[in-house]
A and B are shown apart, each in its own frame.
Chain A
Amino acid sequence: MSIAKISVPSQARRGELVEIRIAIQHPMETGFRMDNMGKVIPKNTVSNLLCRYNGADVFRAEMGSGIAANPYLQFYIVAQDSGDVAFSWVDDRGEKGSASSKITVVV
């Protein structure tokens, strides 16, 4: 089960800069650590994260070993039309996650 929280304002004025936040629960295993038996724990990070606003790519992140567990990202988009802000991501094990929220643009 992929757990994430996103924060998207439900309403915005056209042309307004809105803050988008996402937090994903993920161990972000670096690939440099070993378990109790000395075996390397394979790298497992959220390697690809994509945010789409009304179907258009607005934000993309490729996260590697340098990002701490449970990554938290924050960025801004310009509100243009009402629609979905949809996130999708995949980790090194191929586990997929997604989350989306609606934004209503008022003139």
Chain B
Amino acid sequence: MAADARRPDPLKSGIEFSGAEVRALQQDDFSSPAMLWVTRGEKLWSEPAGKSEKSCASCHQDARASMKGVSAKYPKVDPGTAKLTNIEGRINQCRTQHQQAAPLRYDSDELLGLTAYVGLQSRGMPVNVAIDTQNRSNFERGRDMFYTRMGQMNLACTHCHDRNFGRKLLNDTISQGHGNPYPVYRLEWQTMGSLHRRLRACFFGVRAELPPAGSPDLLDLELFLAWRSQGLTVETPGVRK
């Protein structure tokens, strides 16, 4: 299985496939419901947690300076564990190692809030992951997953998101499947959700087995998607239908 990895041409963010109302919601920071999670993250940033009594701000100070451009470079291989980590994983690593607190549940309001707040500091900056010797095997696994048929529907990601973007799937327009706006407020969910939650929804759609959120499978796919969306800018926190 050695598919040629390629980017869609022309490269388009998912927001360009959204309707005018959804676009207006994402553009206005007050009416965007996603910004409520940012507000939550901002509060949590300076709230002490765990046995260490330290908050994120105790080490990282002002997120507006220290987290600038950080999430645009994720997922990346953590030097300590030599494992691929996304922002959610990195935040939980800080919680368990430095704050000595329990890790936050994936897709909990707290973790989404912090991820969105950190992500916001990279808004407008280009997605920027480098594929090197450290993460090449992860990249290749993610790439193969993208091009491999799966589930009862026997579809691969590429069949919708490379060959049919811009066309209709029921009442929705198929996007190119980029991860640049995540975490997003999805109107269908009536709440905020992570990229992994959205990926699981696609796995469900093709009736494949769902990998758990935060699992190595989804992390590898996330890395491939980040490579594939290079050329777009980070939109966190996005709004989608």
Residues of A within 8 A of B (CB): 1, 3-5, 7, 21, 23-25, 27-28, 68-70, 72
Contacts of A1 in B (CB 8 A): 40, 43
Contacts of B33 in A (CB 8 A): 23, 25, 69-70, 72
Contacts of A21 in B (CB 8 A): 30-31
| Separation of A3 and B41 alpha carbons in the complex (Å) | 10
Q: Which of A1, A3, A68, A69 gathers the greatest number of chain B CB atoms within 10 Å? A: A3
**Cβ of B215 < 8 Å from any Cβ of A?**
no
**Cβ of B219 < 8 Å from any Cβ of A?**
no
Return A67 CB to nearest CB of chain B, in Å: 11
| Separation of A3 and B191 alpha carbons in the complex (Å) | 13
Contacts of A4 in B (CB 8 A): 36, 39
Contacts of A68 in B (CB 8 A): 190
- Majority secondary structure of chain B interface residues (helix, strand, loop or mixed): helix
Residues of B within 8 A of A (CB): 30-31, 33, 35-37, 39-40, 43, 109, 190-191
Q: Decide: A5 near B30, CB < 8 A? Known: A23-B36, A25-B37, A70-B36.
A: yes
Q: In the bound complex, do residue B190 and residue A69 qualify as a contact, i.e. CB atoms below 8 Å apart? A: yes
Contacts of A3 in B (CB 8 A): 36-37, 39-40, 43
Q: Decide: A7 near B191, CB < 8 A? Known: A25-B36, A25-B37.
A: no
| Separation of A70 and B36 alpha carbons in the complex (Å) | 9
Contacts of A27 in B (CB 8 A): 190-191
Contacts of A69 in B (CB 8 A): 33, 190-191
In the complex, which of the residues A7, A24, A25 contacts B30, with contact meaning CB atoms closer than 8 Å? A7
| Separation of A9 and B191 alpha carbons in the complex (Å) | 28
Return B44 CB to nearest CB of chain A, in Å: 9
| Separation of A27 and B33 alpha carbons in the complex (Å) | 12
